[in-house]
Structure 1
Amino acid sequence: MLSRLRDRPWTLALLIGAAAQLLFCYRLGAPSVLTFDEIHYVPAARTLWALAEPANTEHPLVAKELIGLGIRLFGDNPIGWRALSTLAGTATVLGVFAILWLLFGRARIAVLGAVFVLLNQTVYIQARIAMLEGFLGAFVTCAIAALLWAMRAPRGRVWPRLLLSGVLFGLAVGTKWVAAPYVALACLLILWTKWRDRDRYFPGVHAIAAVLVLGLASIATYFLTFLPAFFYRLDPMTLGELIPFQRYMYERQTQLLPPHPYQSDWWSWPLLVRPIWYFYEPDGGVQRGVLLIGNPVIWYGGLVAVAACLWAGLRRRSSAIGGAGLLWVASLAIWAAIPKSLGFFYYYHLSGIFLCVAIAAAFHAWPQSRRRYLDEIFLFAALFAFFHFWPILSAAPLDGPGAFNRWMWFDSWR
């Protein structure tokens, strides 16, 4: 049976996706109150779907549109607030599976990467809270997968796949502006691959035409996501205000903010220096907690994997393996360059996803004879760590107010 599944990657993907969705939905109603930044995005989603007035204007609308859709479908309750976030988490897991399958064509590597994403902890937590990052991760990973799908498409089938990638990138930027550099990186990838072998990659498509289609599709999709704003009862947007509003959003996002107890610098995120307590208080008659913290096995092991990918990519001249490492490097460099007055650990969400891509790629690069059982050992170590932290990832009942000390490896985690 296992050998048959290896020959049917999309069946494997569906099984992994079903497992991810079940895991994300288990006890989704805990905590039963708005948690961390849900206090900003859930009210904004309610206001948006009521077409009342502008709200939470420092960010685009897509994530709030989706949070509001969940509320419409499942009610204004914890399940409704977070329902679409669980789907975004599952889409992220499947997006990573697709990326690795398209890069390496090996079901084992694709499964490993998808499971690592499932266990990296930050994807799990963001899939269970109504925030922007979960939707950002889903759209960016799926857009990258669609771009690789277009790159390997048969002649005559490139354009629809390229257009799909552009739409997904546009939705990603419409979720959070930090996705915009990935559109630029996608355009550079098109130009580089066409220069390297114009007949093998994006066959039958001129490089400049491909870049224009991807760029214009993403821009058009981004601006279309503002359509509900034109129908607000109070202060509706006009076409003349659409472009100036982007400047206003930029000013809001780059404004100087007062210090925050959970602020941290970009260089500290890969080291797990300052995780964030999203929730820690009594709920439903018991003490519960949700700590946004990466899986230490994946977080620290992933840094080794990134270095291994970069080395193997250079030594073997493998753009797929080297690209897996460079993707993580680029994702962190974006935050090093962004002019934000404050940084927070949850900004590392995309980079944490790309760590899992790098780990799987590093195992692919390592000769099978030399890594015998090593990938299984690493997987079980990550699984052990995930279940060790499970109670403070899932808002499970805890023994009391001081129970959190059991999981505090360092003082900076408190």
Structure 2
Amino acid sequence: MRFLTRPLPAALGLGLAAQLLFCWRLTTPHILVFDEVHYVPAARMLRDLAGPVNIEHPLLGKTLIALGMTLFGDNPLGWRALSTLAASAVVTGVFAILWLLFGRVRTASVGAVLVALNFTVFVQARIAMLDGYMAAFVVTGLAALLWAMRAEGKAVWRRWLLGAALLGLAVGTKWTALPYLGIAGAAYLLARRHRPQLWPGMHPLAALAALGGVALLVYLATFWPAFLYRDQPLTLGTLLPFQLDMFRQQTQVLPPHTYQSNWYSWPLDWRPVWYLYEPADGAQRGVLMLGNPVVMWGGLVALIACVVAWFRDDNGRAGGIALFWFASVAMWALIPKSLGFFYYYYLSSIWLAIAIAAAFDHWRMRLRYWDEAFLALTAVLFVHFYPILSASALDGPQAFHRWMWLSSWV
């Protein structure tokens, strides 16, 4: 197993294992789950180029769902197949980020495994929603920007532009990826201020202009299918006004919802969302969008540890990861949404796994083998909660009480 000590085989091996995990019993249930009732019909319209629908979001995520349906059929496999690939890209992307930051396969592997076993990634891997695709583009885009940091010559620009393009695709999936362009730009400037030798040959103004410019062009290109609609096709003249229509849809005041929650409660894993809890495929089944308590609550401790490592030991990488998480949560205080839901925390839950790996890396001499124990506990909880994450057959309508640690989870 020595090949697993090298970064590329380790990343590919973990990505393949995650893909197998996400695909097991993917087609259960055979009914539309949660927001699939919105996105699958919209994907059908896109597949047929019929006309605009679900205009509050950009097109790319629904285009990818339509691609899955074209490849595998208009059935549960077609609806969800590409979501599993997106989640596996998140796992390998997290490995890449940690490897590029710390240069240790163990640290990168810890983060990748924590992401795969964090319930949020598993659940989003198995549903036809936009957030999984958005996260894949954000994570791989950030990995590409860090990859550029390690390059020389023209490769710096090639990798930087790749990262910008991937972030543009993220925004073309869901607008909530847009703040990450600003966060990435700010992180770049802070890193260059402390270590000017990073990203050699790139002037900061040129780098930021390329980041924003390429992302904008790629974002606009994702609307190309709408120019081919049979009914109400987009034109160059209506493309920009259409953005205003999307904004109005995004900011409309919605009626209260059973599972709504405030952004500041999400880090506490306080109010998850039942994507499904009803009889389906001949049995009672449930899918709960919940974070793995070990990762969610342990990640908060890791964030504090990362801040301590930054101020006490000048570990800028750990401190930067903590700041990144804080920014990813704080942005929801500014986004003009009338309702909030726990699944909006999806990307932040990914950064928590990175923070945990960074904290274990910093204190690896003092906390030797603690990372293994932490991974084992994470895996135990994943196995325990698996039935209500994967739509397994349950004993009956009241079976969910077995997993309800908090009354707010009901």
TM-score of the aligned structures, taking structure 2 as reference length:
0.98
Q: Which amino acid aligns with 1:404?
A: F
- SS of 1:279's partner is strand
Residue 5 (str. 1) matches residue 4 (str. 2)? yes
Q: Which amino acid aligns with 1:322?
A: G
Name the structure 2 match of 1:292.
289
- SS of 1:35's partner is coil
Q: Which amino acid aligns with 2:242?
A: F
Contact 2:187/2:320 (8 A) holds in 1 = no
Please, which of 359, 364, 371 is the counterpart of residue 375 of structure 1? 371
Name the structure 1 match of 2:381.
385
Query: 2: distance between equivalents of 1:278 and 1:191?
Result: 40
Residue 400 (str. 1) matches residue 396 (str. 2)? yes
Query: 2: distance between equivalents of 1:145 and 1:188?
Result: 16
- What CA deviation, in whole Å up to 9, does each residue of 1:338-390 have, x standing for no partner? 1111000100000000000000000011141x102211111111111111100
Residue 335 (str. 1) matches residue 332 (str. 2)? yes
Distance 1:193-1:372 versus aligned 2 partners, 3 A rule = closer
Cα offset, 1:102, TM superposition: 0.2
Q: How does 1:216-231 map onto structure 2 within 5 Å?
A: 216-231=213-228
- SS of 1:67's partner is helix
Query: 2: distance between equivalents of 1:94 and 1:373?
Result: 23
Name the structure 2 match of 1:187.
185
Cα offset, 1:195, TM superposition: 3.1
Query: 1: distance between equivalents of 2:406 and 2:338?
Result: 26
Query: 2: distance between equivalents of 1:156 and 1:43?
Result: 44
Cα offset, 1:49, TM superposition: 1.3
Q: Which amino acid aligns with 2:387?
A: P
- What CA deviation, in whole Å up to 9, does each residue of 1:35-84 have, x standing for no partner? 00000000000101111010100000110000000000000000000000
Name the structure 2 match of 1:69.
67
Contact 1:57/1:249 (8 A) holds in 2 = yes
Q: Which amino acid aligns with 2:178?
A: A
- SS of 1:157's partner is helix
Query: 2: distance between equivalents of 1:278 and 1:101?
Result: 34
Cα offset, 1:336, TM superposition: 1.6
Cα offset, 1:316, TM superposition: 1.8
Name the structure 2 match of 1:265.
262
Please, which of 275, 278, 282 is the counterpart of residue 281 of structure 1? 278
Cα offset, 1:401, TM superposition: 1.0
Query: 2: distance between equivalents of 1:194 and 1:284?
Result: 55
Query: 1: distance between equivalents of 2:355 and 2:83?
Result: 24
Residue 311 (str. 1) matches residue 286 (str. 2)? no
Query: 1: distance between equivalents of 2:281 and 2:310?
Result: 52
Q: Which amino acid aligns with 1:39?
A: V
Contact 2:274/2:288 (8 A) holds in 1 = yes
Please, which of 321, 324, 339 is the counterpart of residue 324 of structure 1? 321
Cα offset, 1:137, TM superposition: 1.1
Name the structure 1 match of 2:232.
235
- What CA deviation, in whole Å up to 9, does each residue of 1:275-328 have, x standing for no partner? 111111111211111111110011100000011111111222222111111111
Cα offset, 1:155, TM superposition: 2.7
Contact 1:191/1:208 (8 A) holds in 2 = no
Cα offset, 1:111, TM superposition: 0.2
Residue 355 (str. 1) matches residue 355 (str. 2)? no
Name the structure 2 match of 1:209.
206
Query: 2: distance between equivalents of 1:43 and 1:285?
Result: 24
Query: 2: distance between equivalents of 1:190 and 1:391?
Result: 42
- What CA deviation, in whole Å up to 9, does each residue of 1:121-163 have, x standing for no partner? 1100000000011111111110110010011212331111011
Contact 1:93/1:118 (8 A) holds in 2 = yes
Query: 2: distance between equivalents of 1:282 and 1:124?
Result: 21
Cα offset, 1:189, TM superposition: 2.5
Query: 1: distance between equivalents of 2:188 and 2:405?
Result: 44
Residues 396-405 or 180-189, more deviating: 180-189
Query: 1: distance between equivalents of 2:194 and 2:152?
Result: 18
Q: Which amino acid aligns with 1:384?
A: V
Please, which of 228, 245, 248 is the counterpart of residue 245 of structure 2? 248
- The runs of 5 or more residues in structure 1 that have no matched partner are none
Query: 2: distance between equivalents of 1:62 and 1:45?
Result: 10
Query: 1: distance between equivalents of 2:300 and 2:314?
Result: 21
TM-score of the aligned structures, taking structure 1 as reference length:
0.97
Query: 2: distance between equivalents of 1:194 and 1:308?
Result: 24
- The RMSD of aligned alpha carbons is 1.0
Contact 2:286/2:392 (8 A) holds in 1 = yes
Q: Which amino acid aligns with 2:84?
A: T
- What CA deviation, in whole Å up to 9, does each residue of 1:218-250 have, x standing for no partner? 000000000111111111111111111111111
Question: How many pairs does the alignment contain?
Answer: 410
Cα offset, 1:337, TM superposition: 1.4
Name the structure 1 match of 2:405.
409
- SS of 1:56's partner is coil
Query: 1: distance between equivalents of 2:194 and 2:368?
Result: 35
- The runs of 5 or more residues in structure 2 that have no matched partner are none
- SS of 2:275's partner is strand
Contact 1:48/1:68 (8 A) holds in 2 = yes
